A and B are shown apart, each in its own frame.
Chain A
Amino acid sequence: MFSEQIELRGHIIDSLLLPKVLDEILNGGGSFTIREIKVGKQQSDPSYACIDVSGPSPEVVDDLVRRLRQHGAEVVEQKAVRLVEAPADGVFPPDFYVTTNQQTFVRYQDKWIVVQPVTMDCAIAVDARTATASTVKFAQVRKGMLIAVGHHGIRVAPLERSTERRSVFEFMGSNVSSEKPKSAVIREVASEIRLARQSGGKILVVAGPGVVHTGAGEHFEKLIEQGYVNLLFAGNALAVHDIESALFGTSLGVYLQRGSLADEGHENHMRAINTIRAAGGIPQAVAAGILRQGIMYQCVKHNVEFVLAGSIRDDGPLPEVITDVVAAQRVMRSKLGGVTMALMMCTMLHSIAVGNLLPAHVKTICVDINPSVVTKLSDRGTFQAIGLVTDIEPFLRELTEFLAQGSAPA
């Protein structure tokens, strides 16, 4: 979307200039957001309106603004973004602009240019040569890069709420409660997932080892088999316990089928790690016929990309695990293009970490038995997330059932 800000002053309400201008924007193929409106108190007091005029192309917006000018609209003078060179590698200039997870534009050389990718808690670097703007993390900034400072010449486009269809994201908001009707919500989530796939969007799953411990792994496998997962972000633990269960039938030494402890079961996950390390990695273990089931097996088999990021408490880790957190974050960011939906299950820290990388327009569903996980995710900026407080096993079981019903021929 491209936009200009206009102002209207005078007796714009008595003269019906305000409704006329708004109607003209809509009739001309644009849309508007009223930023500010002040209505005169006395009859002779002037009123004021500040309106963002948006349209699908710069030409539509220019044409609209030209027409609106004859009704008295004044284009708000656009200040250019202020750029300051980064003082050193890894350091932003003081007063650098901190991004949100919403689409952002900077005014540069008399044009609004879009900042890509949309990521929160970054700075904005402008490349003078190509006249492009990008979000940069501390690790990416190099001395001399032009970094946006202050707030002038920077505009954030708020998320547009759909008015056509009341989806789960409208009626749920991000309120967390274990008191909500689960089945109806899961059905809605299923239809959102289907919709995402139909419209060619990528579906990201962020999963913790709880998925395996609770015995929900088999449902997750079905989700992958049915093609509803395009990208998996996890830690070492999910992969380790999934492989442990694939090789030994246990998760953390507990038989998933029986619920009883296996003899010397605590060793199983260490042996699983060793097996994969010996094979050279997960795909190699699949290729060698060592790993023949489970979530990771299905990922390899169905070409689902996965990124495993490490942590200090990891055993092993598995060869695929990226132990440098900055490198892991960079790889995760590089995979996010085209993601329109994120399903976060059973992991607090990984969900928050991924939430920080996601643009706000990515529909995010967080499923956890612990209500505070969803609250934390929202509180740390991923305000678009909706939460579902439930055990993961019944959630995934029901979700795969709904998806299977929906995809069956009518």
Chain B
Amino acid sequence: MRELLLCPPDHYGIEYEINPWMHRGQKAVPALARAQWRGLLDTLQALGCQISLIPAQPKLPDMVFTANAGLVAGRKFIRSNFRFRERQGEQKHFEQWFLDHQYEVVRLPAERFFEGEGDALFCGEVLFCGYRFRSDVRAHQLISGILDCLAVSVELVEDRFYHLDTCFCPLTGGDAIWYPRAFDNYAQRAIRAHTRQLVEVAPEEAVHFACNAVVLGQDIVLPEACPRLCAALAERGYRPHPLPMTEFLKAGGACKCLTLFLPQREVTAQALPR
């Protein structure tokens, strides 16, 4: 049973613009956002997930995107250092929650930007880390040292796919869903070299955040309007669960951005026999 951290969209809204999806003139509809979030929560619970909730905080509208809080491996929580001031206020609330829940909180040096699971995803034994728009590649080195794992840093080159979890989604057994055009050539080669099978997402589905999916074994919770990906996944024996995410897409987020794995990895590699 997977444990996930979510934050209710009590204070969610488009109040600033820090990625190409956000337009203050195009507000999220609160009731609809609540309903869509509720739909996600219900689906995850129905799939057997245990959900923890962190209380939403006023003036921190993006706190709903808990994936960016940090990276959890075993009982270690590597706290994010948000690049934008607008989100930096979230850090202390997440840190407190993890302290209250008996996690070991690891802070990176303040100048090393890192946006948590949004930019750090394990695929097989490899931790893929996105950089350029949000996280700093030098933070990856620190994290690979903390977790004693291979961290493959991949450069993101399309600003609409500003976090790794918007264009890359590990499946089971070292396979992954991806949108190659979001990466530079070197990153594409590095990803191909360190994954098993890759399911490519079409551009028209990538913009619906097809890659922003929560993978729970064979069950995959993803935004709707991605029929081709759903078909490709079904063909491989997965069970896609498409959900409406329109109100969160307005902020550049979807299913995965709204969830944080507790933990993403059961144990850190240090605990594994070599």
Contacts and interface: CB of A to CB of B under 8 A. Distances in A.
Contact of B153 (A10, A19, A44): A10
Given A10-B153, A11-B152, A46 B189 contact: no
B194 A14 contact: yes
B153 A11 contact: yes
B141 A15 contact: no
B137 A17 contact: yes
A126 B250 CA distance: 61
B213 interface: no
Contact of A44 (B132, B137, B155, B269): B269
Interface in A276-305: none
Interface in B127-152: 131-132, 136-138, 140-141, 144-145, 148-152
A9 B274 CA distance: 23
A70 interface: yes
A10 B149 CA distance: 11
Interface in A86-101: none
Contacts of B137: 10, 17, 70-72
What is the size category of the interface that chain B forms with chain A?
20 to 34
A46 B142 CA distance: 10
A10 to B, nearest CB: 4
A152 interface: no
Contacts of A16: 186-187, 189-190
Interface in B223-274: 269, 274
Contacts of B220: none
Given A16-B186, A20-B186, A44-B269, A72 B153 contact: yes
Interface string A28-66: 000000000000001110100000000000000000000
Contacts of A74: 138
Given A43-B150, A44-B150, A17 B141 contact: no
Interface in A66-111: 70-72, 74
Instruction: Specify which of A10, A19, A71, A74 lies most central, judged by the most chain B CB atoms within 10 Å of its CB.
Output: A10
B154 interface: yes
B144 A10 contact: yes
A14 B144 contact: no
A15 B137 CA distance: 11
A11 B184 CA distance: 17
Contact of B186 (A19, A44, A72): A19
A26 to B, nearest CB: 14
Contact of A72 (B141, B193, B194): B141
A71 B129 CA distance: 12
Interface in B153-200: 153-155, 184, 186-187, 189-190, 193-194
A43 B145 CA distance: 12
A14 B141 contact: no
B15 to A, nearest CB: 28
Contact of B152 (A9, A15, A19, A20): A15
Interface of B: 125-126, 131-132, 136-138, 140-141, 144-145, 148-155, 184, 186-187, 189-190, 193-194, 269, 274
24 contacts: A9-B141, A10-B137, A10-B141, A11-B141, A11-B150, A11-B151, A11-B152, A14-B126, A15-B152, A15-B153, A15-B190, A20-B155, A20-B186, A43-B150, A44-B144, A44-B148, A44-B149, A44-B150, A44-B269, A70-B132, A70-B137, A71-B137, A72-B131, A72-B140
